Structure 1
């Protein structure tokens, strides 16, 4: 298996474990304590560190003298936290469990954006790398489809404890595979001969580089809606007299997203910014239609179409980060972008909880409007941005901390 093949296997295994945690934690808490709320608190502790740990994780990745040790070690810590929670949740004192969840969640930015930042060092710039980001995006979507299903099946056949143990084994496999990647031959996020970028360099790049500012602001806004989609789908299904069918709607969305990332996401001839805007607009339009469909079957079709449109958005986002992030802060840009999206999704989940008494179709319509607004925001912020010349993105870490003015290095 080549370097990129091993990377994909590591990314899929790590993201499988990450995607399964939400369901596994709640099921295990319900099984051992009789309270799903207990699981929700643990899950909050697991997700909360993402945005705070993101700049630290990105800076540590960029400064690591032994990137193999950093990535394998972070994934090993992630594995240890999952395994510890499978043993401690519902048995150990709550502060201990929450502390373990916080520590494990701090490794989350490496599983998401951190791993994706490695792709630029495994393949040369060009269509091959663009297609590689399509495959990388598909690992997120594949994990979101398979992990909850696997947790549910193992939990039903045995119990929630073994289900979480499956996630720990998957995370351990990711750590082993990460240790085998050819880090010595790539410089994703490192610039040994240049000055080291500070903790704020990634945030500076996200703001000063127009393309990064556009995609980050747009996807953060979009994910406020995406984060509330799961709860809304449950409420929508109940409103259609099919309680329990919310999972069907979300599965349709996830399968559609996987199909979209493997097809539309591989359209390397389309500029990633344009692909991102099309994706957000299409997702918003399809969810807007779903708000008015009269049956779960038709709603599931609309959710699947929305997923197909959402699938290439992640591919486009990864391509934009890779093309426009200065080399010295690439890992920070990836981890910060992922952390902001996770935080936005958490905020969306909280907002829909407060508005749960509203008619479900209005909630879904609100999510659709957020996707359309995100597409419009991207178009507005990126107006006038150009495409960087060949090699312009492979700059040193020094240029990361002080891009030339508040404009994109590629254009006005």
Structure 2
């Protein structure tokens, strides 16, 4: 598997998932004039992945044909998003069902695919740097493509583009020829799932990085809310919040490009902890009322460190997971981070009345705290993945 081949398989479905949460609310307003419905449908697209993650992971750990499952998940997602594009002619209930089905398939590409990258890219650090790059490309290009399609065409066109991207990812998975990383499974599916949860909770290196990664996303989830609140508070224009969030995404993409070209030589737990802490420090600095350019610059700088820390987290997940449980560890970790981001957004919305600067400082401190948790990582921990 070459780097280009992996990016061609991993980036399009992540782009589709990143873009659909923007496309669906716009589509709901465009077709039905209902903002609340758009939010509910976006939740229908994301929520099921949290519940499906352990089942998807255990299935990937037990199957003899993981490539077929990942490609099939991309196809299911493409069909689901195609159905969703016809909200208006189709009832919201039918669209919601389609999005739930698509959400169930999401863990195959958001966590599951990551568990196979090192099987064909021997250099672990580079492999997960490339994987982090695929996540960052998706998170930046997906919403940008939706915004452009909605502006120059329609939200329906934007949603169909996300469906096409998911289909492209399914096709791109085929040349990867993914192979199982574990021996023939023993025991029931429930025992496999239980073993995975037990390993995540009781194996200290994995417990530490899972907790840290989950908490970091609680802060990340609130950034968009804080950005809008800050923009309104300082200038009365909610649209300015998009510039702040875009600065974070661009910083993340630049960091991912740098990290994929020159991965850090530090131990992964140090890279992860320092990266989370640096993101937090720059987020706190962004709260200083020195002007909009300062805020955008500091938020952009905070994003620079996210790719290296995410790649380090993925590397530790792999190194600290026995092959029979690896996919489950990845999908559960991704599901927990998604749930935490959603909770962070909800809490930030409820706490917006406390003041935008205070909210931004709190988000930064959450990042710093998640980085500080890596002090609990056992320094003598040896990889157990072989």
Both structures adopt the same fold (TM-score exceeding 0.5): yes
1:246 aligns with 2:241: yes
User: Partner of 1:12 in structure 2?
Assistant: 11
1:192 aligns with 2:184: yes
1:229 aligns with 2:201: no
Query: 2:2, 2:121 within 8 Å by CA — same for their partners in 1?
Result: no
* CA RMSD, Structure 1 to Structure 2 (Å): 1.7
What is the rounded CA distance, in whole Å, between the counterparts of 2:76 and 2:194 in structure 1?
25
Cα distance per residue 1:55-80 (max 9 Å; x no partner): 00001111112222211111111111
User: Partner of 2:46 in structure 1?
Assistant: 47
Kindly indicate which of the two structures has a greater share of residues assigned to helix. Answer: 2
1:342 aligns with 2:335: no
What is the rounded CA distance, in whole Å, between the counterparts of 2:296 and 2:133 in structure 1?
21
Q: CA deviation at 1:311?
A: 2.2
What is the rounded CA distance, in whole Å, between the counterparts of 1:71 and 1:351 in structure 2?
33
User: Partner of 2:304 in structure 1?
Assistant: 308
User: Partner of 1:178 in structure 2?
Assistant: 173
Most deviating of 336-345 and 114-123: 114-123
Q: CA deviation at 1:4?
A: 4.1
Gaps (5+ residues) in structure 2?
none
User: Partner of 1:393 in structure 2?
Assistant: 385
Q: CA deviation at 1:339?
A: 0.2
User: Partner of 1:263 in structure 2?
Assistant: 258
Question: 1:103–1:178: structure 2 CA closer, same or farther, 3 Å change rule?
Answer: same
What is the rounded CA distance, in whole Å, between the counterparts of 1:28 and 1:94 in structure 2?
11
Question: 1:225–1:193: structure 2 CA closer, same or farther, 3 Å change rule?
Answer: closer
What is the rounded CA distance, in whole Å, between the counterparts of 1:90 and 1:215 in structure 2?
43
Gaps (5+ residues) in structure 1?
395-412
What is the rounded CA distance, in whole Å, between the counterparts of 1:98 and 1:67 in structure 2?
27
Query: 2:139, 2:249 within 8 Å by CA — same for their partners in 1?
Result: yes
User: Partner of 2:55 in structure 1?
Assistant: 56
Count of residues in correspondence between the two structures: 382
Query: 1:242, 1:296 within 8 Å by CA — same for their partners in 2?
Result: no
Cα distance per residue 1:243-285 (max 9 Å; x no partner): 1111111111111111222324643421110001101110110
What is the rounded CA distance, in whole Å, between the counterparts of 1:179 and 1:262 in structure 2?
25
What is the rounded CA distance, in whole Å, between the counterparts of 2:250 and 2:183 in structure 1?
39
What is the rounded CA distance, in whole Å, between the counterparts of 2:145 and 2:263 in structure 1?
31
Most deviating of 248-257 and 63-72: 63-72
What is the rounded CA distance, in whole Å, between the counterparts of 2:149 and 2:372 in structure 1?
43
SS of the residue aligned with 2:176? coil
For 1:285-296, list aligned pairs within 5 A: 285-296=281-292
User: Partner of 1:211 in structure 2?
Assistant: 205
User: Partner of 2:347 in structure 1?
Assistant: 351
What is the rounded CA distance, in whole Å, between the counterparts of 1:213 and 1:260 in structure 2?
26
Query: 2:62, 2:185 within 8 Å by CA — same for their partners in 1?
Result: no
Query: 1:222, 1:371 within 8 Å by CA — same for their partners in 2?
Result: yes
Query: 1:49, 1:106 within 8 Å by CA — same for their partners in 2?
Result: yes
1:131 aligns with 2:126: yes
For 1:98-177, list aligned pairs within 5 A: 98-124=96-122, 128-177=123-172
Query: 2:219, 2:363 within 8 Å by CA — same for their partners in 1?
Result: yes
Query: 1:133, 1:318 within 8 Å by CA — same for their partners in 2?
Result: yes
SS of the residue aligned with 1:294? coil
What is the rounded CA distance, in whole Å, between the counterparts of 2:64 and 2:177 in structure 1?
14
With the length of structure 2 as denominator, give the TM-score of the two structures. 0.95
Q: CA deviation at 1:194?
A: 6.2
Cα distance per residue 1:73-94 (max 9 Å; x no partner): 111111111111112x233333
